[in-house]
Amino acid sequence: MAIQLLDAARNEIPVKFTQFSGGERHVQIDETTLGSLSGKVLVRAHMASSHDVMDYLLLENILLTQGLTVDLEVPYFPYARQDRICAVGQAFSLDVMTKLLNINADKKAGKQGKITVWDCHSEVTTALLAANTSFSEVVNVSSVDIIAKSEALSALLKDEKTVLVCPDKGAKARTQMVADAFNRERKQPITIVQCDKKRDPVTGKILGTHVHATDLSGLTAVITDDICDGGATFIGIAKELRRLNCTKVVLYVTHGIFSKGIEVFDGLLDQLFTSDSFPQQPTDKISVIAFAAK
């Protein structure tokens, strides 16, 4: 289920989500069940569509009207990739999304509750959540915390023959954070290999990729990033890493959308790791890191 409601003891509360014939969403909680709730509740929302967003907003309205405090967990925060206006005529989608989460709040009540996101695309997300919403606390779970849940990936990052690959300038801070976390368990600091990509600001299409290295023979390359959608960035990087004689090429992304399937990486990646922020089926091609709270 895309959206779950849990009480203070973390028991799941039944919520009915339906749609009218005109396309409008409808959310209903049994009156007796609703009346039994008090204090703080938790909503876990996997918002993968506009329906999911609307369902959350309607549910939030019910809960706040009841006088409850809402903690919200959104593993993949919608529209976080559009964290600025890149070309004339584009909307500032992330700003709009964060303001939507505030529409049910009673401004007189002040800030309350907590919102948790996983490895958000940039610091703009947490800044706008703090500025635009009624949540008193904004928590961004780091990729390091998620990676640490995988023994296999952690072992690779501790190996002295592993290098970290930073896919673009925007991922520098994230990549360095991963390096710092695992350097404590290595004899030598992990080498970070920087990449550059050229993107069309209007279409978003990747126009080219360059890996700043000359020879990576005998090394395992671990690419780390927050999101994989169609995979064009990582396909280009993996091809270059293969050309540079890497023994092994591994990709970790927190949020695996994989809109074109993982078959696009056949022959390019030796291992693929991702979290369960999106529903995934573990196979011999993909390792899913179970991080979602039970």
What single letter denotes the amino acid at residue 193?
V
- Phi, psi torsion values for 150, nearest 5 degrees: -105, 110
Domains and CATH numbers, the chain: 3-141 (3.40.50.2020), 144-289 (3.40.50.2020)
Say what the pTM is: 0.91
Rounded to the nearest 5°, which phi and psi values hold at 216?
-125, 30
pLDDT in tens, the chain (294 residues): 699 999 999 999 999 999 999 999 999 999 999 999 999 999 999 998 999 999 999 999 999 999 999 999 999 999 999 889 888 898 999 999 999 988 888 777 778 899 999 999 999 999 999 999 999 999 999 999 999 999 999 999 999 999 999 999 889 999 999 999 999 999 999 999 999 977 776 766 776 788 999 999 999 999 999 999 999 999 999 999 999 999 999 999 999 999 999 999 999 999 999 999 999 988 889 999 999 865
Q: What is the pLDDT of residue 103?
A: 82
What pLDDT does 204 receive? 67
Can you give the pLDDT at residue 110?
77
pLDDT value of position 172:
93
Residue pair 80/36 in contact (Cβ under 8 Å)? The answer is no
Q: Check residue 201 and give its pLDDT.
A: 67
Tokens representing 44 are 């876990």
Query: Cα(101)–Cα(53) distance, rounded to whole angstroms?
Result: 9
Q: The tokens of 187 are what?
A: 């004899």
pLDDT for position 55: 97
